[in-house]
Amino acid sequence: MFPILSLIFFTKRNNFCSIRPLSRALSSPVVHLGAPDGPTLSRRRASSTPTTGLAYDSQMLKHACVCGNNALHPEHAGRLQSIWSRLLETGLVSRCDRLRPRKASTQELQMCHSEAHTLLYGTSSMNRHKVDMSKLSSLPVMAFVRLPCGGIGVDTDTTWNEIYTAPAARMAVGCTVDLAVRTWTGDIRNGFAVVRPPGHHAEPQQAMGFCFFNSVAIAARVLQREHRVHKILIFDWGVHHGNGTQDIFYDDPRVLVVSMHRHDDGNFFPGTGSPGECGAGAGLGFNVNIAWSGGLNPPLGDAEYLAAFRTVVMPIAREFNPDIVLVSAGFDATDGHHPPLGGYKVSSSCFGYMTRQLMQLARGRVVLALEGGYDLPSICDSAEECVRVLLGDNPSPISPSELSRAPCGNAIIALQKVISVQSAHWPCLQEAAKSAGCSFNDAVRNEKDDKDTVNAMASLSMQHQTHNMVTSPLGYHPGCSPDAGRPSA
């Protein structure tokens, strides 16, 4: 059992009161992860031709537990500091167009979240006295818990800072929205939002899993409502299922949500995202869950993710033919994450490869927004790789051993499950399913052999037709009526 924690309500005077005990489970485990120092600055790059956009602001670094001990909280400012420093050191920032950051408006937040949720988590301490507390009565939980470290949180790891969390969360949304809009309008070619706190777990009326507002979902709604974008693909490659994103678009056929995540038959946080959760009403078939199960025996890696991309993600995405692609880019499936936070061994090169594949869609209009990922070297490598690919550089090569390795048995079963469920909605999966158990190299060879066979058959057919045209005195295929296809007198 977890320790009994105190439930704390806000009052109109911006004080805490009404304390009563409440036991809450962790939304994700607390582990020891260090954080480097060193905030960075950068000037916006002026460009006459569309290039890759970057969105970042140091205000998002201020969201932190009041205990001041980042080692107790995996989702800390060091994540953003490290990634931004890497992008600066490698010269990638200077090659990009840096967007002017801004906070999301209340109207934008309410495109995906209730008024009560927006007021509670989007209002800073200076404006707390303006909130009509009666409007918060509809929230399932409108309270905060006292954490073992002495800080305050929505649950025992989604920390809340009364001064800095709301502005940081709104900044993360605003940066993501503007990046998506500018990509759609052609001001930039594609983009990467270096933002926190993450968003894909945030539901319309519930903050959880380090998330307060669903940045990617809000960006999609803004594109729909203000820019008349008809078809949007949201792809979530983080190791945890994006329950909030699924919830928001579950009945919307204009937004295809594809999530690839560790599931373990519902025993891995957040427990949602089974293959059978495939949408409702008009949105049936527009929610696709590639739900990995079987624990870490063995840990999944590039071979499994490449197989999923080849057999499920890209066939469905091509058939859907989106106008723009938004990626919930969590890097917690990378090697270096403790089992409770991931445990997989996907390489940064694989994330670069997936980015390159997605750029084949929607005329290259692809926007990545940082979600999870807590091992600093791994997330820096992955972010750098993705930005390089967005800029047009070739992705780093994937390990030859992973290219030649067939996906593990548990992964093949997971792929077969999602294909079985989704084939009724996406017939293209029936053909793609044939290579679910193949290594990347074998799949490429088989595809080449199939193409060679088709080309050879087409060539033989043409030769046969030419021969018949030459040997038939009337110039028609033997066995057909000479009058076939001729207009009647």
E-state strands within 87-231 = 97-98, 144-146, 152-153, 159-160, 190-193
CA atoms within 13 A on the CB side of 416: 10
Whose tokens are 């792809």? That residue is: 235
Write out the DSSP string of 291-324: EE-STTSSPPBHHHHHHHIIIIIHHHHHHH--SE
- 329 forms beta bridges with 370
d(CA 465, CA 463): 5
Closest among 228, 188, 242 to 367, alpha carbons compared: 188
Q: Which of 73, 113, 201, 241 is catalytic?
A: 201
Is the CB of residue 207 less than 8 Å from the CB of residue 158?
Answer: yes
- As given in the structure block, the two tokens for residue 66 are 């009041």
Three-state DSSP at 169 gives: helix
d(CA 59, CA 102): 10
Whose tokens are 């090659």? That residue is: 95
d(CA 232, CA 390): 19
Cis peptide before 427 (omega within 30 of 0): no
**What is the number of other CB atoms lying within 10 angstroms of the CB of residue 460?**
10
35-to-61, 134, 373 alpha-carbon distances in Å = 12, 40, 13
404-to-46, 260, 302 alpha-carbon distances in Å = 43, 22, 11
Closest among 358, 375, 78 to 237, alpha carbons compared: 358
211-to-260, 341, 391 alpha-carbon distances in Å = 19, 15, 29
Query: Is residue 263 annotated as a catalytic residue, yes or no?
Result: no
Please identify every residue annotated as catalytic: 201
